[in-house]
């Protein structure tokens, strides 16, 4: 039998292991789902609002294909963020949108710049598409029993000049650092694609930078319903 080979660069990629769903954990541990306290995936442990559950329960026509553009949702989001509807795109979670951006804008010899540490899917998705992920190391500053990450903004900007895409989680995952609006504007002034992942912005005492999107056509701001809204299972980003 002839063995069909995968694309060469995929053979060197470490298999991505996502978080296990509750049902699998319950089966492995032989305990009820209700007894599991799950903290490994940054999932919201609380149920969505009752109105959301009621709406999902009343869905009709699910045998038909949906509106792939999510037009109604986009109209609501545009009104909420005070932006034009053509500034929005909805995907199956932020992961899909990140992958689409990499596929659309990065060639095999381009680089994607990100912090280290940061959201792990960046490294994985760049490898999947044969793109080089350059990580910018942060410095650990210790003060007594506390520690936080910091970095040199000018050095990061210099590194960004040689990249095709710059990815920044704001707040950063896992340390929670929030880069300044001014720093993002400096980045967006460069001829590169700047992706800001605001998956956790609702948990920070900072405003979203979605307002900057009309000013910079090379700026993408990602938001999600998975965290603060507790809708991770619906995959909406």
Summarised one tens digit per residue, pLDDT across range 146-166 is: 888 899 999 999 999 999 999
What would the mean pLDDT of 45-67 be, rounded to a whole number?
84
**Better-predicted residue by pLDDT, 235 or 76:** 76
Residue 180 lies inside a defined structural domain of this protein: yes
91 falls within a domain: yes
Q: Is residue 16 part of a domain?
A: no
**Is 39 domain-assigned?**
no
DSSP secondary structure of the chain: -PPPPPPGGGGGSPPP--PPPHHHHHHHHTS-GGG----TT----SPPPHHHHHHHHT---TTS---TT-HHHHHHHHHHHT--GGG----SHHHHHHHHHHHHH--TT-EEEEEES--THHHHHHHHTT-EEEEEEPEEEEETTEEEEE--HHHHHHHHHT-SEEEEESS-TTT-----HHHHHHHHTSSSEEEEE-TTGGGSSS--SGGGGGG-TTEEEE--SSSTT--GGG---
Residue 12 lies in a domain: no
Residue 14 has pLDDT above 70, yes or no: yes
Count of the separate structural domains present in the chain:
1
**Domain annotation covers residue 28:** no
CATH code for the domain in which residue 111 is found: 3.40.640.10
- pLDDT by residue (tens digit) across 80-102? 999 999 999 999 989 999 999 99
What distances in angstroms separate CA 149 from CA 116, 118, 205, one per listed residue?
10, 11, 18
Residue 59 lies in a domain: yes
pTM: 0.89
For residue 3, tell me if it sits in a domain: no
Range of the domain at 159: 50-234
Q: Which of 3-12, 18-27, 107-116 has the lowest mean pLDDT?
A: 3-12
Q: How far apart are CA 75 and CA 163, in angstroms?
A: 34
């Amino acid at each position: 039998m002839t063995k069909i080979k995968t694309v060469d660069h995929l053979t060197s990629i470490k298999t991505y292991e996502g978080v296990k769903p509750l049902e699998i954990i319950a089966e492995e541990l032989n305990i009820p789902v209700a007894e599991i306290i799950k903290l490994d995936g940054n999932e919201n442990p609380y149920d969505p609002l009752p109105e959301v559950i009621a709406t999902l329960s009343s869905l009709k026509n699910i045998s038909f294909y949906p509106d792939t553009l999510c037009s109604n949702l986009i109209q609501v989001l545009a009104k909420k963020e005070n932006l034009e509807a053509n500034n929005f795109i909805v995907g199956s979670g932020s992961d899909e949108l990140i992958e689409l951006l990499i596929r659309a804008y990065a060639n095999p010899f381009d680089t994607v710049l990100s912090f280290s540490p940061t959201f792990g899917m960046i490294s994985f998705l760049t490898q999947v598409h044969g793109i080089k992920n350059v990580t910018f190391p942060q410095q650990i500053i210790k003060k007594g029993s506390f520690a936080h990450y910091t970095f040199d903004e000018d050095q990061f900007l210099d590194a960004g000049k040689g990249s095709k895409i710059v990815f920044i989680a704001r707040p950063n995952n896992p340390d929670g650092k929030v880069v300044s609006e001014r720093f993002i504007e400096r980045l967006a002034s460069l001829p590169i694609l700047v992706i800001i992942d605001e998956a956790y912005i609702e948990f920070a005492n900072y405003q979203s930078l979605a307002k900057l999107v009309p000013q910079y056509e090379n700026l993408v701001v990602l938001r999600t319903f998975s965290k603060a809204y507790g809708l991770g299972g619906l995959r909406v980003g």
